[in-house]
Amino acid sequence: MVMTIKRGATKKSIKIILENLSQDFKPKGVDVKKFVGKINIPKDALDIQKEFRDEWK
């Protein structure tokens, strides 16, 4: 969405425009923060990465 702020706009009108923009904004994608610390990996992450890379050879 594009909003035009004209020259001479007051601080109050700019704040209203910014509030309207923030209400309409919906982030795309997945909220990964809810998964932080939820998965326990039994191996070292570097070892797992090496195994995945070796599968391509």
Task: Answer whether residue 32 shows pLDDT above 70.
Answer: yes
pTM, two decimal places: 0.38
Task: Answer whether residue 1 shows pLDDT above 70.
Answer: no
Q: What is the pLDDT of residues 33-47, one digit of tens each?
A: 888 887 788 899 899
φ/ψ region of 8 (left if φ > 0, alpha if ψ in -120 to 50, else beta) reads left
User: What is the CB neighbour count within 10 angstroms for residue 25?
Assistant: 8
Domain boundaries, the chain: 11-55
